[in-house]
């Protein structure tokens, strides 16, 4: 079974990937949060280069993800990535953000299937490296997926990762796993599942219904419980010492990159990581108001000294 880390803008970038792999072991594959492809004839900007730098991704199988509806720019970006040594490029057809969707990108591209068909025709023919896709199943209604899937089935995709929600769901509601099952049954190319796999029970249920599953992408589950992939493979849950070491290394690495802004970045991580504790609300209250690095460090010291770990850590919105 392939276990990969989901692309999550602002959360699972190169720093998170490296620190997580060091503390909890590498996952089989990692996807970068979405990047805009460079303009024709130029290279990626500084921020994207930090994400793609081979030195930052050493030892990890990283697939860059591009967000665009411009086939020429995608092919150019894929060429630049191929020259850097990447062996696959992923297309984002899932981003639900209003501004992205309004430009016909991410899940907004699913509104114009003729254009998507032509885009895939060109990029699959001209990209120097295989093209995989991460998709939602529609914009407004599940019924859209029949036609969307028909488009995918016409192209030689390297892999199709299905997050079975529609754009309007954002990240709410229950993923419609049947849409993934249908894809798995019909696609001639590899298919991966993504969405709400937060503990062993979730994985067991997926595998019981879809035993042919070969690749599961994990997102919020890993943020809430960094030992999730290990426990899915039968390993031990995270100890307090492991969590604290992971936290400290993450903090140090972000601090080196962004100085005092580290507090805001870490607070975003805590909005998921608090699920590792028995009383997530209490953890939330301790970090909620801190602004300065010293206040933050004192709050975190208290969390690791005073808060109990959850017996069964699991991401939920309410935690």
Ligand X SMILES: Cc1cc2nc3c(=O)[nH]c(=O)nc-3n(C[C@H](O)[C@H](O)[C@H](O)COP(=O)(O)O)c2cc1C
State the binding string over 83-102 for ligand X (x if CB under 6 A, else -): ---------x-xx-------
In angstroms, give the least distance from the CB of 171 to ligand X. 5
Stretch that binds ligand X, among 78-86, 219-227, 238-246, 295-303 (CB under 6 A): 219-227
Q: How far is CA 6 from the centre of its chain?
A: 2
Query: Which CB sits closer to ligand X, 120 or 218?
Result: 218
The only residue of 64, 195, 226, 313 in contact with ligand X, by rule CB under 6 A: 195
CB of 163 to ligand X, least distance (A): 4
Please state whether 196 falls in left (phi above 0), alpha (psi between -120 and 50) or beta.
Answer: left
At a CB cut-off of 8 Å and minimum separation 6, what does 306 contact?
none
Q: Burial of 305 by CB count in 10 Å (0-12 exposed, 13-18 middle, 19+ buried)?
A: exposed
Nearer to ligand X, 28 or 302 (CB): 28
Classify strands 215-218 and 159-162 as parallel, antiparallel or unpaired.
unpaired
Q: Which of 37, 64, 108, 219 binds ligand X (CB under 6 A)?
A: 219
The answer to whether residue 196 forms part of the interface with ligand X (CB under 6 A) is yes
In the list 3, 8, 243, 287, the residue contacting ligand X (rule: CB under 6 A) is 8
Q: What are the tokens at 319?
A: 């935690």
Euclidean distance between CA atoms 112 and 306, whole angstroms: 53
- Per-residue binding string, ligand X, 32-71, x by CB under 6 A, is -xx------------------------------x------
- Tokens coding 171: 């990240």
The bridge status of strand 131-135 relative to strand 89-93 is parallel
Rounded to whole angstroms, how far apart are CA atoms 110 and 114? 9
The least distance separating ligand X from the CB of residue 126, rounded to whole angstroms, comes to 22
Residue 139 half-sphere exposure, CB side, CA atoms within 13 Å? Answer: 15
Q: How far is the CB of 217 from ligand X (least distance, A)?
A: 7
Look up residue 287 and give its two tokens.
């970090």
Q: Which residues bind ligand X (CB under 6 A)?
A: 6-9, 11, 33-34, 65, 92, 94-95, 134, 163, 171, 194-197, 218-221
């Amino acid at each position: 079974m392939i276990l990969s880390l989901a692309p999550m803008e602002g959360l699972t970038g190169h720093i998170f990937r490296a620190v997580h792999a060091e503390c909890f072991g590498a996952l089989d594959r990692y996807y970068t949060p979405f990047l805009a492809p460079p303009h024709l004839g130029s290279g990626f900007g500084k921020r994207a280069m930090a994400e793609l730098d081979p030195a930052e991704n050493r030892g990890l199988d990283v697939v860059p993800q591009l967000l665009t509806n411009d086939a020429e720019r995608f092919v150019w970006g894929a060429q630049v990535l191929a020259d850097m040594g990447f062996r696959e490029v992923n297309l984002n057809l899932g981003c639900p953000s209003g501004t992205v969707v309004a430009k016909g990108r991410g899940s907004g591209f699913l509104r114009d299937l003729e254009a998507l068909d032509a885009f895939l025709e060109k990029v699959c023919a001209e990209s120097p490296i295989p093209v995989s896709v991460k998709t939602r199943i529609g914009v407004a209604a599940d019924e859209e997926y029949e036609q969307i899937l028909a488009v995918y089935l016409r192209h030689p995709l390297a892999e199709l990762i299905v997050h079975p929600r529609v754009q309007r769901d954002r990240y709410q509601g229950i993923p419609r796993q049947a849409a993934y099952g249908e894809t798995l049954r019909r696609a001639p190319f590899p298919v991966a599942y993504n969405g709400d796999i937060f503990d062993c029970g979730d994985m067991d249920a997926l595998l019981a219904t879809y035993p042919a599953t070969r690749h599961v992408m994990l997102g919020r589950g890993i943020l809430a419980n960094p030992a999730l992939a290990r426990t899915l493979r039968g390993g031990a849950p995270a100890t307090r010492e492991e969590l604290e070491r992971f936290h400290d290394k993450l903090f140090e690495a972000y601090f080196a990159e962004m100085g005092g802004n580290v507090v805001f970045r870490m607070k975003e991580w805590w909005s998921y990581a608090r699920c590792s504790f028995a009383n997530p609300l209490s953890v939330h209250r301790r970090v909620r108001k801190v602004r300065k690095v010293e206040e933050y460090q004192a709050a975190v010291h208290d969390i690791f000294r005073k808060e109990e770990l959850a017996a069964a850590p699991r991401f939920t919105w309410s935690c």
